[in-house]
Amino acid sequence: MTKLRQQMDDDMLAQGCADRTRESYLEAVTGLARFYRRSPDQITDAEIQAYVVHLLRDRQLSWSTCNIVVCGLRFFYHITLKRDRTAFSIPSPRRSGKLPIVLSPEEVQRLLTHAANEKQRTMLMTAYAAGLRLSEVLHLQVADIDAARMTIRVAQGKGGKDRYTVLSGRLLETLRAYWKVARPTDWLFPAPGKAPARPMDRSSLQKAYQRAKRRAGLTKPGGIHTLRHCFATHLLEAGVDLHTIQRLMGHGHLSTTTRYFQLTRHTHAEPGSPLDLLARFDAPPR
């Protein structure tokens, strides 16, 4: 760990930042330094602003993901480097009511089939099968998989809340096959190489999703969070009640879950028009 990285981590510990916040903020600064191939204390505000635009426009990361990056960079430059002010920012999120894009079950199957390797396929399948956020997949531990109760424990999810979600039989088989090869001990999906004591970083899993999507010939926009949207939408289409989906996804408000009604195909009855609900009749002759 570099001196600057250690100093930033110490500053976050002193301010009581949660472990996941520290990881996200450190990763934000590392990503910036890697992009410019320079130490972050040598990067200007204008260059930082250009990097944020790159994340939004070129990499098409979500506003919430970019906001975490900006918060991490502000902490580094304001607290660790003690700069009085910085000029970089992120545009306010658009409130257009735009609905998320979802994949069909057939498209999800194609995506999983075209994952680059077994570990990436298992991670993508876990995100979809359990409706997990990106950070929740990365922070799963081996002990969180409860085969006896067929549940997955999500420790300290969004909002610092624990919850349980479903463990499908098919996913359990895949996880067991993966475990026999990878033999993870603590983190279910540890970082590769010489750093197995920490989970895989966020960008690696995002890249794995985008790579599988390209290989599968899928052109719909969106990142790995699409699989979480698919989880909720496909469960609704299968007839699972809204409150159960809310609990599995860890939504604090039911209104967050109800938007998935607008994404579902009405598989039980597809009238197309109220006219189609009427008994067929012949128009009287004129």
Q: Is 158 an active-site residue?
A: yes
Q: Which of these is catalytic: 77, 178, 209, 260? A: 260
Q: Is 133 an active-site residue?
A: yes
Coil/strand/helix, residue 87: coil
Q: Which of these is catalytic: 119, 202, 228, 229? A: 228
Q: Is 268 an active-site residue?
A: no
Q: Are 225 and 209 a contacting pair, CB within 8 Å?
A: no
The DSSP annotation for 198-216 comes to SBPPHHHHHHHHHHHHHHT
Q: Which of these is catalytic: 22, 202, 213, 225? A: 225
Q: Six-digit token pair at 53?
A: 């635009």
Strands 145-146 and 151-154 turn out to be: antiparallel
Distance (Å) of CA 63 to CA 27, 118, 161, 188, 223: 17, 30, 23, 28, 12
Q: Are 127 and 103 a contacting pair, CB within 8 Å?
A: no
Q: Which of these is catalytic: 153, 158, 211, 215? A: 158
Q: Is 225 an active-site residue?
A: yes
Distance (Å) of CA 104 to CA 12, 131, 147: 42, 15, 28
Closest Cα to residue 48, out of 61, 29, 62? 29
Q: Which of these is catalytic: 22, 119, 121, 133? A: 133
Active-site residues, by number, are 133, 158, 225, 228, 251, 260
